[in-house]
Structure 1
Amino acid sequence: MPIKFFIDQGHNPSGNVNAGAVGNGLYEGDITYQTGVWLANLLNNDPRFEARLSRPSPTTVLGTSNTTSLDARVQAANLWPANYFISIHCNASENTALNGSEIYIYQYYTQANWLAQRIMMQMTKFAGTKDNGIFAAPTLYVLRKTAMPALLIELGYLTNWNDAQKLYYNSYPFALGIYMGILDYFGFLPQ
């Protein structure tokens, strides 16, 4: 039986409620959509896994407010039910020098924590971003309300020129790094 991953492409398309961050002409919902599609394709082409997307098309809009948008994602994962939940995001800051990748989990010393460590190691290797660390954030809705180990991955900063170039021109290495981290977590990478 395949291991089921719910891939949540954080936020909605630009121009809609809960559209996410903007920086260097990039919209978070657009970057997360494409990265999620690549990750789901990698997982679905591996018979050990099955993946579903929160936004199956680029025009999919979830919810009518931030709260209902987040709830729709969590409910879809819980009802499936998924074995793991990965929410993909992009960061932004007024300080344009800030850069790098971060992963948020509900609690340290859990399966989500171990998975996050493997994903961070592989994602920063493939995408070339800085490892900013893994942080417990129990107040985040998608980490608090999911019934399975859950991660919220901040790929990079849209407001940082170098991160934005990586995210705009080729976000595939981020998806590949997440996939390789999943393989590493399950012991599927050749030693």
Structure 2
Amino acid sequence: MLSSLGNKTKRIILLALSALLLCALPAFAAEKIELWNGDIRKGSVSVRMNGTLREMAIDEVVSSLGFAPKNDGTSLVVTMGGKKIEFWNGSNIVRAAGTIISFPTPVVTKDGHWWGEGRSLLSAFDSFYKAIGQKAAFRWGDTKTVAAAQPAPQKQPAPKIQPKQSAPVKKPAQPAKPKPKAETPKAKPKQEAQAPAKAAAPAPKPRAGRKPIVVIDAGHGGHDPGAVANKIREKDINLRAATQLAKILKEKGVDARLTRSTDVYLKLAERTAFANKNNADVFISLHCNSMPKGKSGVAGFEIYIMALPSDKDAMNLAIVENREISGDAHSAAEIQKADKKTQLLLKILGDMQQNDKIGASTELTEVLHANAKKSGLPMRKVAQAPFFVLRGAGMPAVLVEMGYLTNAAEAKRLNTAAYRDKICRSLAEGIITFIETHRGR
């Protein structure tokens, strides 16, 4: 009996030792990528895949650049020289020194890191560095696999050391500071400096004297019909109107480009991303509205900009148009998710200073409103609400509700080429007036 008990004890001891040895070994291998600014290596950053997109640890980028961020779990903010770069958990919006940058996927916090899509992250820090007067040529270098246990000691001391160096933190803003960090092997920077020049390929800046560019977005499409009433689908009216507006603008010497020219589905973020890539002077998203049963008498033309909501109806409309961000579902639970994300955008807008694009969008709206009234369109209202489709636009942007499909008479008019032509000519004149006024600014 005693000998049997001794064997069990030995087995327990052996198992305990094995467990300790296993814990001492790295549990898995983590992927890291080198962050460079020109020929200067700034540090290694964790990488993860989100579907087909590569995301990097924002907090490690910030640490590599020598900044001490404010991180309250909801937002991560870096301040330098009176300028800020701001990230919000669960949002596609990133603001870099006042410039709004739209990320293809929301920034998220997971596994102890803040994650953001790699290319967009470089663009955000480029904007921030230029705003504080520093050289900005950020790029990603080689990736490498390291043991998960190795980077752990580097993560923990960083938050403790940085706050104590609050005064020296400003030194990254001085051109002389980066030179000591160029102690990496000199052969590698030369090889890697050529690759990013091809990969970065930002959209070309508008040339002087070029035609004004207007991006027209036909709302909804593909599996998303939008509003459906009186046997008419919103996505069809939107596409026909967008095509007509593009034709009229081209006749007037404007380079008009469509986010979609066929019945295809585009994510909300893809629409403004297309406008940004094409360096548009104006972005306009065309839609048709609807009302619940019992309110079929409501009709009229409406224009919206993205800002804090002007009234309850505007807020409700934004929640409906933002439904895609909750998986495009229609259940009460999923609609509630859309509501929560729209509320998050509201908080972000509330935290942000007034953006010059909001001011310019307001001016565009005023011109479009004046032209609509002059054209005899049944103008219902001009309002503002947090529309995700407008959130990342780097130019004046408006969302137009051309009318209510739930109103039988208005739906019938919207389904005719003649009435849509009236709407589109009014919009075209307003857009051209706005561009001519603002191009010299």
- When the two structures are superposed, what TM-score results if normalisation uses the length of structure 1? 0.84
Q: Give the Cα–Cα distance (whole angstroms) in 1 for the partners of residues 391 and 382 of structure 2.
A: 16
Is 2:242 aligned against 1:36? Answer: yes
1:81-100 correspondence runs (5 A) = 81-94=279-292, 95-100=295-300
RMSD: 1.9
Which residue matches 2:265? 62
- The answer to whether the 8 Å contact 1:107/1:113 transfers is no
Match for residue 412 of structure 2? 165
Query: 1:66 is matched with which residue?
Result: none
User: Superposition pairs for residues 1-150 of structure 1, below 5 Å?
Assistant: 1-13=210-222, 16=223, 18-47=224-253, 49-57=254-262, 59=263, 61-63=264-266, 69-94=267-292, 95-107=295-307, 110-126=359-375, 128-137=376-385, 139-150=386-397
- Structure 1: which amino acid aligns with 2:368? I
Maintained 8 Å contact 1:129/1:156: no
3-state SS, counterpart of residue 96 of structure 1: coil
Runs of 4 or more, structure 1, over 6 Å off, are none
Deviation string, structure 1 residues 70-110 (Cα, Å, up to 9, x no partner):
11211111111211100000000021011001111024971
Taking every aligned residue pair, what percent have the same amino acid on both sides?
32
Uncovered stretches (5+) of structure 1, i.e. residues with no partner: 64-68
CA contact (8 A) 1:39 1:176 kept: yes
Does the aligned pair in 1 maintain the 2:403–2:411 contact within 8 Å? yes
Amino acid in structure 2 at the alignment position of 1:123: A
Name the CA distance, whole Å, in 2 between partners of 1:150 and 1:25.
Answer: 30
Hey, what's the Cα distance between the residues in 1 that align with 2:277 and 2:361?
Answer: 19
Alignment gaps of 5+ in structure 2: 1-209, 309-357
- CA offset at residue 112 of structure 1? 1.1
> Structure with the greater relative contact order (CA < 8 A, sep ≥ 6): 1 or 2?
1
8 Å Cα contact 2:249-2:255 kept in structure 1: yes
Give secondary structure in 2 for the equivalent of 1:51.
Answer: strand
More helix by share: 2
Shift of 1:186: 4.2
Larger Rg: 2
Paired amino acid for 1:62: Y
> Which residue is equivalent to 2:81?
none
Number of residue pairs matched by the alignment: 175
Deviation at 1:62, TM superposition (A): 2.7
Specify the SS of the correspondent of 1:117: helix
Question: Deviation of residue 56 (structure 1)?
Answer: 1.6
Opposite residue 271 of structure 2, the aligned amino acid is R
